[in-house]
Structure 1
Amino acid sequence: MEASSIRVGILEIQGGFSEHRTAILKAAETLGMKEKIEILSVRKAADISPALSGLIIPGGESTTMGLFISRNNMASSLQEWIQDEKHITWGTCAGLIMLANETEKQKIGGQPLIGGLDIVVSRNYFGRQVNSFQEKVKIMDKSLFSEANIPDHFEGVFIRAPAVVKVTSPKVTTLAVLSQSCSDNPGVIVAVRQKNILGTAFHPELTEDLRWHSYFLKMIASVQVD
């Protein structure tokens, strides 16, 4: 493998990992990076290699994911890998929950978390499966716009989605909130970034909009340049 290659691992426990794989390859092609991308499956501790440039933690059921990670002795390897700021991590939906340092509305006895984001996340913030929906997400970070005519919103797919109910550190940047017309609380935070960690409450992999996957790849590329 060439030194300039980019290895992206996808945690394949639950959720749309195949959709993430497809979206990453499409985004890489639009960025002129497709020949550099290598996508690897992550299902055991040995797969969490320092050679990985990025890691995606897809959606699913966060308690089940946490138990799988604990039973397969992956938690410490994931935490150690994420602590290296040259390693870029992205969690979507349940992945966001797993990356939070604190959660609300968790099941009795709690659940294992990976941590890393100084936020409090509320599980199933918008309700149960029947309350899943698609709504406009207002993008706050202008770096997600590569052209002047790109809209400042994103059609977010929310499936038993969490939300960030509290930010506990100034190191956390809010990247997106629900648009005012789509929520009783226009301040609901649904995407954040803290240094090398990205979290979204929605599922960009279930849309044709590649901006979030491109953003993730750009985070990796910027670290490699540094």
Structure 2
Amino acid sequence: MPSVNNDLSSPSTKITSNQSNMDEQCEEQLHIGILEIQGGFSEHKAALIKAAQLMGNEAMLKIYSVRKAEDLLSKLCGLIIPGGESTTMGLFITRNKMADALQDWIKDEKHIVWGTCAGLIMLANQSEKQKIGGQSLIGGLDIVVSRNYFGRQVNSFQGKVKIVDKSLLKENTPSYFEGVFIRAPAVVKVNSPEVSTLAVLPHSSKEKSDTIVAVKQKNIIGTAFHPELTEDLRWHEYFLKIILSVQNH
């Protein structure tokens, strides 16, 4: 599991607070927010830093903590919603009056958002197996997800995820990704042709078909697994490259 790199002397991997250097535009810097409610936000930070370095210092990376609506600055060009417990996350977002701000921020297609595990659930328009009383969702992905699709904590596992989107495949890298699934959801229905499948879990004797575990719709990415808990940086590179491609158009 990666840890946060404390050596921030390289100009390509600066981390700042929300209050400083905010005169810089997203076109000049990679301003990435991480919703720090639950989950591996420190692991995401470390992976983003390593991915930016691997990309040859193509952009200046600045990472911001997002815990309230005011943190969703217009200058943020990317946002990661880590895993955790989706019901708890929904309650936090509702109680802190963040839902409208998150939805408005995501509606701008120049803003790229990526949800992992519970983050995928939060970004789905519909969710199965909700707790009694339901739960709040941010929405945006025209899909139906199933919470705890593979079972509870005891059923967590690592499995070979088959990457089906060629933009995630680098030269001399395998077409599989070692996915970490912790009480993971899965995409059980796609309701729009705008939703593209990025990766699947190949079917086993228990499943009749492949299980969709990563999707993209316009500016929204969702993965059922935890790339931040591996040393494989392809998903974080993919996220940053999409942001850069949007900036260049």
What is the percentage of aligned positions where both structures have the same residue? 72
CA distance in 1, matches of 2:176, 2:205: 12
Q: TM-score, normalised by structure 1?
A: 0.97
**Which of 74, 89, 98 is residue 74 of structure 1 equivalent to?**
98
> Partner residue of 2:13?
none
| Root mean square deviation of aligned Cα | 1.3
The runs of at least 4 consecutive aligned structure 1 residues that moved more than 3 Å come to 180-183
Deviation at 1:163, TM superposition (A): 0.1
**Partner of 1:21: helix, strand, or coil?**
helix
**Partner of 1:209: helix, strand, or coil?**
coil
Give the AA of the match of 1:210. Answer: L
**Counterparts in 2 of 1:127-138, with a 5 A limit?**
127-138=151-162
CA distance in 1, matches of 2:246, 2:177: 26
**Partner of 2:92: helix, strand, or coil?**
helix
Give the AA of the match of 2:145. Answer: V
Deviation at 1:32, TM superposition (A): 2.0
Higher helix content, 1 or 2: 1
Q: Contact 2:30–2:59 (CA<8 Å) still a contact in 1?
A: no
Question: Higher Cα Rg: structure 1 or 2?
Answer: 2
> Partner residue of 2:32?
8
> Partner residue of 1:41?
65
Question: Are residues 181 and 105 of structure 1, via their aligned partners in 2, closer, same or farther at CA, if it must alter by over 3 Å?
Answer: closer
**Between 69-78 and 172-181, the greater mean CA deviation after superposition:** 172-181
Q: Contact 1:25–1:34 (CA<8 Å) still a contact in 2?
A: no
**Counterparts in 2 of 1:170-189, with a 5 A limit?**
170-180=193-203, 184-189=207-212
> Partner residue of 2:4?
none
Deviation at 1:182, TM superposition (A): 8.3
Q: Contact 1:135–1:182 (CA<8 Å) still a contact in 2?
A: no
Give the AA of the match of 1:98. Answer: M
CA distance in 2, matches of 1:110, 1:40: 30
CA distance in 2, matches of 1:201, 1:186: 17
CA distance in 1, matches of 2:51, 2:209: 29
> Partner residue of 2:169?
145
> Partner residue of 2:138?
114
**Partner of 2:102: helix, strand, or coil?**
helix
**Which of 205, 227, 231 is residue 204 of structure 1 equivalent to?**
227
Deviation at 1:34, TM superposition (A): 6.6
Question: Are residues 183 and 31 of structure 1, via their aligned partners in 2, closer, same or farther at CA, if it must alter by over 3 Å?
Answer: farther
Deviation at 1:145, TM superposition (A): 1.4
Give the AA of the match of 1:50. Answer: S
> Partner residue of 1:91?
115
Question: Are residues 35 and 85 of structure 1, via their aligned partners in 2, closer, same or farther at CA, if it must alter by over 3 Å?
Answer: closer
Question: Are residues 40 and 182 of structure 1, via their aligned partners in 2, closer, same or farther at CA, if it must alter by over 3 Å?
Answer: farther
Q: Contact 2:203–2:211 (CA<8 Å) still a contact in 1?
A: no
CA distance in 2, matches of 1:183, 1:76: 40
